[in-house]
Every structure is written in structure tokens, then in C-alpha cells.
A and B are shown apart, each in its own frame.
Chain A
Amino acid sequence: MLVELSNLPGPDWGLMLPQLAVFGLALVLLFGDAFMARAQHFRVLTGVSLVGYGLATALLWTQDGRNEATFFGLFRADGLTVFLSLVILVAALLTVMVSASYVDRLEGRMPIGEFYVLLAFSVLGALMVAAAGDLVMIFVGIELSSLATYILTAFAKRRLGAVEGALKYFLLGIFASAILVYGMAWIYGATGTTDLDGIARALQTATAGDEFLEPSLLLALLLTIVGLGFKMAAVPFHFWTPDAYDGAATPVTAFMSVVPKAAAFAATIRLLVQALGPMRDDWLNLIAVLAFVTMAFGNVVAVAQRNVKRMLAYSSIAHTGYMMVGLAVYRQQGGFDVGGGATGGDQGVTSLLYYILAYTVMNIGAFAVVAWLQHRGRGLTLDDFAGLASTQPLAAAAMTVFLLSLMGIPPTIGFRAKYEVILAAINADTAAGLALAISIVVLSAVSAFYYLRVVAVMYFDEPARTPRTESTPLLNVGIGAMAVATLLLGVFFSGQLIDLADRWSRALTVVAQAGGGG
């Protein structure tokens, strides 16, 4: 039956306070940009952005433990929503800190008001994907997030590289979106619903006791994985990544290496685990192969890069691979239980979520140091990092912390995250899991080469020239905070954070819909 208009339940606005806060932030920024003198933009709008994201992050606690849905089940506030929203909002906060002075001063003073507006909309789109309970929501959220990111990529439009990267990203991105929608259409055709839980229920009855692989569902699975693989920059759908990451302004690169990726993983977890969970056996192997190819390719090609920004782009591909391992070793023992049987969190997905958080801090940090150097008139190549330790020891130390964390050296957060993923892969107790665990270890050793090369250049080479002095207080605070977080979060609070990530599995239990479906 179609929705009955009489006795229509109203939406539960209280459930979506963080998302509404970001939406309000975007509108405030839009109006502030239009009606304030340009001279005030930098100071006021940066402050407003920081306060807005801070407020949204604080409001996440109103969603914690609610495990409810509203808007006819399209918006879900469950454990997965809360954790991924936390990651996305932290990334947004850090991006504002990294980008404020860069956007205002470098590359011919980009319009900072529009920059923050697009940033807020991109964050809002990612938040919506994290909270999606329906295929339509996933798609619309991804589109909102991506469209804003395409524009941000082209923001430094004076540089041809930025326009080129943005165009590649845009064209391949809309193509991938079309493939994703095609896959969703097949899923809808086979199950008759776009509701994620409804799909899981329909598949459970359809695949019960049936060894035969259903071709149409398999095709749907394939198409959605291709579409999502593009969004998360998995090999072989990564061709846009180096050019877009290299071409975009550095703070934008920092942002787009984290938030769209987090949104893509949110969509993947929602789609594969929550909706297509009953056909888990079919996608696990596919994801495992993709994970291996992605981390192998990213690490091997990164070795050849002399441009540090491009090297970090390939390294982010490699990290996508590590994250996918967490998904590839997903196992919900005893079949998929929609009726509320899923209690303990799956270690694989928990480790993936924790890895995204760790990656957010260390990856934005590494890009932040690159931006910090650009402020001081240095370029992006390895030579520009020469002798950094003797001229700017603190920046060199921060960069070293980030690179060691990306490599996975204890006691950094990167080590802890990698450890959790490897542990989950071994505990999965399958040949594929073991192989993936071994390849993470081996490829981390490969990655040591290119990460340590930067460290060696910073500490042992002679400085090429004296750097320009420039004051970037907000960026300095951001780098400092990220360096401290990278060093300490792996040791302290990691238990709490992993517990928080572990609550994702409550997304699998049927969500109590307040007000009878409203």
C-alpha cells in the first residue's frame, strides 16, 4: 500500500541534530558570504565554521545509543551513524584549520566564503550517507558530497593542473555514479524495495537454502561494487586519484582523501553488510581481491614518486586497501539475523571503522605539513623537504610523526589501527584472511621505503634555501593537535574508541521506528 495521508507521522527532528547543525552552518556561511564585507570573511567565516562543526560534533552525543530511525526509516541514527559522523566531523574541523590561511593567501586568494559553503555541503552529504537507511538516501548523499568535492577540486582554478584533475574526477565520478545507480536499480528489481533492511529480508528468503548463484543479484553486486570502488579510490577504479589529489589545493586534497572516502565506506558497509549481508559469500572474495590489488598497487607505485603530494595520493590508495581488508574478513557467524540476533560487533568492520578514524588524523596531518611548507614558499617535491629538520625542527618532527603513523610504527595510532585490522584478518580463520594479513605486513615494509625517504631527506640532507617566515597560527594549532592525537590516541583512549566503533553492529538489529514508521 502507498503511504496513507491521514495520520501521517511527523519527522523526529531531534534525532538528526548534528546533521541539522551542519545544514544550518552551510546556510549561515552562504548568507555571511553574501552580506558581509570581504575583508571580514576570513576571520568571521572561519570562526563560524569551527564553531559549527564543533557544535555538530558535540550534538552527536544526542544520537548516541538512540538506535532509532525517522523519515520512514530513511534516516537512521545508530552506532554506525554516530561513529562515521564523528570521523567526518573531526575531518571537517581539521580541514577548516588546515585550509583557512591557505585559501585566503595562496593561489591568488580563492573566495573563502564559497569554499566553506561547499565544504559544509560536502560534509552534510557524507553525514547523510552515514545515516542512510535506504538506497535512495545513499545515492543522493553521495551525489551531494561528490558534487561539492568536484568543485572544491577545481577551486584553485588558476592552475591548469587543478582544472584537469577536477575534470577527470568529475567525468569519471558521474560515470561511476551511473554504474552505482544501475546496480541499485537491479537490487530494487530483484527485491522490490529500496529499504536496506527490507532488501536484507527479501534476500534472506530468496537465497535461503539455495546454493545457486542468482545472476541478476550477482550483476547488481558487481555494479554497486564498481561504483563504490571508484568513490573510495580502489584499484582498478583509481585512475582519477593521483591527478585529482595532485591538482587540487593541498587542504582540499587533505579533505577529499578522507571525507569522500569515509562516505564511500559508509555506503559500502550499509549496502554490502546491512542490505546484501545474506549474499555475503559472494562479495567477500571480490572485496578481498580488490583489497589486495589496491594495497599492492598503491604501495608499489608510491615508491616511484618524487612529488610528495603525489606520493601521499598513492599512499592513500594503499590505505584504502588496508581498510578494505577489514571488510573482506567480515563474518557474522550463524547467518544473517534481521530479527535482532546480531549482538557482538564483527571485528572486521570494527577494525575498518577504527582505521578510518586513525587515517583521518594522520593523513590530514601529513597534507597539513605540506600546506604549511607551501605557505613558506616551498614546493612539493622531495627536494623541498631537504634539511627541514635544521631550519624548522617542529614541522619536521610533526611530519615524521605522521609518516611513521602512516607506516604503522608503534606507539602511533596508525600502528594500533593496522594491528586491529591484522588481528581481525587472522581471527577470521580463513586462508584469504591469513593471506591478507601477511600482505599487509609485507606491503607495510614496502611503504616504509617511501615514507622513510621523506624522513631521511628532512633530517640528513642540507637545506637548499632559507625558508620564508609566515604566521599561520590556526594551521600550527591544527598540526600540533593532530600530531599529539597521532602519538597518544594509539595508547590512550583507543579502548573507548574501539568500543564506540564496535557499536556499529547495532545497525543490523531492527531499528525501533518512533511513531510507527515516521
Chain B
Amino acid sequence: MPWDVLVFYLLAAVCVLAAGGVVVATNPVHSAIFLVLCFFNVAAVFVMLGAEFLAAVQIIVYTGAILVLVLFVLMLVDPDDLPEFHAARPVQRAVGVLLGAILLLEVGAAILNRTVVGQQGNATPANVAAVGGNVQALGRNLYTQYLLPFEIVSLVLLVGVVGAIVLALPERLGERVGQRRATISLGHPRGTDVAALPPGLDGPDGETPVRVASGDRPVATGSGRREATSELEATRELIMVRDADERTVVGGGRDSGRS
């Protein structure tokens, strides 16, 4: 057996075992580390296939960016808050294992019983070498033949950004920022919570913030809102110190409003 085949099987075996580890590990951080291992092996397989650029992207994007993000999220989430996946629902678990096994058998059968040999695409080694390497070849394909989907992917990212803002923006803040014609100044005392200010400091035109319409349904729970507000105030105090006087007045007003 030539050495590259041996190396391939070694990489593949580690990769499959690591992927299994992702699923089996009870600690989510361990799962993430297993995933890193898996991605590294996939990158190595890409190198063996002569796709060095993909290997680099695999490392930079997946291990470098995405998994670090996953780890950040995991560290921010209290492990006790994570749902228990392994104990409950034995029936679903059994069905899942059964269906997974069937799928595995199907994939195995498809691989072993191939009569139609897969047809070669246009990215043959000769073609890739002719344009100067696989970075060039990939660039050519992306910016010529697959330009349209490439551009649409950028729209997908844009939708993701808009969606993240819509779903994550606290409602009261969003309400006020929207009212203020694109002046998103969190540092401004009235940019966050005017209700806490004494009446005299209500702003030049005396406008008061619009309260969130109560509607038919109860708004967010009281405690949650209070927490959010106090968090904003804390931020504000740090940002908005423009001169000593203003800070004293605003801070004093808030305290008296609270008590």
C-alpha cells in the first residue's frame, strides 16, 4: 500500500472518530475541541487532494473564526442552563439511531455498488495547472461561471446581519433610536432612558420618549425590563461623561428618581 493511501486512511479515521466525539461528548466544550480536530484532518485531506487553498480556508474560517465563536458562546452560557440531551426521550433516541444506521447502510451500499463511475468535472489537475494553481482556478470559477451565486451569498450575509439586529436589538432602545432619525448616540443622556431624568432636564424641545405601545398582550416581564434599563444606564454613565457638571446633575437626578 503506498504511503499516501495510508496517510489518507489515518486522517480519515481520526476525522471520523473526532466527528463521533463531537456527538458523544457530554461537555459542549469538548465537543467543540473535537470539531477542531475534525476540521484539521479535513484540511489535511484537502492538501492531499491538491486543494491547498481550500485547506487554508478550512483552517482560517472554520477553526479560526467559527469555532472560536462557538467556544465564546459556550463560555458565556452557563453549563447548567444547557438542556440535557442524553438522558431523556429513549424512544426518539432509538428511532434516531435506527434511522442513522439505515442512512449509513445506504451510503455504504451506494459507495460499494457503484456501476456508474463518477464523471470528471472540468477542474482536472492539468486544467488547474494551466491557469497557474488552484487559487487561480478557484478564483476564475467564482468570478466567472459562479459569479451570480457568489453575489447572492453576499445577500445571504446581509440578511443575516439585518436579522441579527432585528432579533437582538432591545425593543425600547430600538424604538427610540428609530425616532431620532438615524442619530444612534448611546452617549447622549436621552439616548437611553429619559424617564430617569428629572423633569427640568427633559431636553431642549421637551419631547418625551414614546412608550412602547402596550397593545393587547403583556409586554416583557417587569424584572427583565428593569434589568435591561439599569444595564443601559450603567453603560451610559461610562460613555456620556462630557463634563463634570453634567455628570453630577444626571447622576443625582437618577438617584433621586430611583429612591
Give the contact stretch, choosing among A106-114, A282-290, A450-458, A471-479: A106-114
Contact B148 A121 (CB under 8 A): no
How far, in angstroms, from A30 to B163 measured CA to CA in the complex? 12
Contact A118 B163 (CB under 8 A): yes
Q: Which residue of A lies closest to B171 (CB)?
A: A108
Which residues, 438 to 485 on A, are CB-close (under 8 Å) to B?
none
Give the contact stretch, choosing among A211-219, A390-398, A505-513: A211-219
Q: Assuming A186-B110, A206-B116, A215-B114, is B152 touching A141 (CB within 8 A)?
A: yes
A130: interface (CB < 8 Å): no
How far, in angstroms, from A144 to B163 measured CA to CA in the complex? 12
**Interface residue count on the A side (C-beta < 8 Å):** 66
Contacts of B159 in A (CB 8 A): 118, 121, 144, 147-148, 151
How far, in angstroms, from A307 to B130 measured CA to CA in the complex? 64
A385: interface (CB < 8 Å): no
Which residues, 364 to 420 on A, are CB-close (under 8 Å) to B?
377
Q: Mark A10-54, 1 if CB is under 8 A from B, else 0.
A: 010000000000010000001000111111010000000000000
Contact A111 B119 (CB under 8 A): no
Contact A190 B118 (CB under 8 A): yes
How far, in angstroms, from A1 to B155 measured CA to CA in the complex? 30
How far, in angstroms, from A309 to B1 measured CA to CA in the complex? 63
B149: interface (CB < 8 Å): yes
Q: Mark B45-58, 1 if CB is under 8 A from A, else 0.
A: 00000000000000
Give the contact stretch, choosing among B4-12, B25-33, B73-81, B212-220: B212-220
Contact A107 B153 (CB under 8 A): no
Contact A140 B145 (CB under 8 A): no
User: How many residue pairs between the two chains, A and B, have CB atoms under 8 Å in the bound complex?
Assistant: 150
Q: Which residue of B lies closest to A139 (CB)?
A: B149
**Interface residue count on the B side (C-beta < 8 Å):** 54
Contacts of A144 in B (CB 8 A): 152, 155-156, 159
Q: Which listed residue, B113, B149, B156, B220, touches A74 by the CB 8 Å rule? A: B149
Contacts of A106 in B (CB 8 A): 215-216
How far, in angstroms, from A36 to B180 measured CA to CA in the complex? 9
Q: Which residue of B lies closest to A148 (CB)?
A: B159
Contacts of A193 in B (CB 8 A): 119, 121
Give the contact stretch, choosing among A155-163, A269-277, A353-361: A155-163
B128 to chain A, nearest CB (A): 8
B234: interface (CB < 8 Å): no
Q: Assuming A111-B178, A143-B156, A215-B114, is B163 touching A2 (CB within 8 A)?
A: no
Contacts of A72 in B (CB 8 A): 144-146
Contacts of B155 in A (CB 8 A): 23, 121, 124-125, 144
**Most A CB atoms within 10 A — which of B109, B113, B128, B146?**
B146
Which residues, 210 to 233 on B, are CB-close (under 8 Å) to A?
212-213, 215-217, 219-220
Contacts of A34 in B (CB 8 A): 182
Q: Which residue of B lies closest to A144 (CB)?
A: B156
Instruction: Give the dominant DSSP class at A's interface.
Output: helix
Q: Which residue of B lies closest to A379 (CB)?
A: B216
A349: interface (CB < 8 Å): no
Q: Which listed residue, B110, B119, B153, touches A215 by the CB 8 Å rule? A: B110
Q: Assuming A144-B156, A215-B114, is B179 touching A151 (CB within 8 A)?
A: no
A88: interface (CB < 8 Å): no
B256: interface (CB < 8 Å): no
A189: interface (CB < 8 Å): yes
| A/B interface sample: 5 pairs, CB < 8 A | A121-B158, A147-B163, A148-B159, A159-B217, A377-B216
Apart from A74-B145, A114-B162, A216-B111: 11 A-B pairs, beta carbons within 8 A: A3-B141, A23-B155, A108-B212, A109-B213, A136-B149, A140-B156, A155-B166, A158-B219, A214-B116, A217-B116, A222-B106
Chain A to chain B: the 5 pairs with minimum beta-carbon distance, closest first: A192-B119, A151-B163, A38-B178, A219-B110, A216-B110
- Chain B residues proximal to chain A, CB less than 8 Å: 106-107, 109-111, 113-116, 118-123, 127-128, 130-131, 137, 140-141, 144-149, 152-153, 155-156, 158-160, 162-163, 165-167, 171, 174-175, 178-179, 181-182, 212-213, 215-217, 219-220
- Chain A residues proximal to chain B, CB less than 8 Å: 1-3, 5, 8, 11, 23, 30, 34-39, 41, 71-72, 74-75, 106-109, 111, 114, 117-118, 121, 124-125, 128, 134, 136-137, 139-141, 143-144, 147-148, 150-151, 154-155, 157-159, 186, 188-193, 202, 206, 212, 214-219, 222, 377
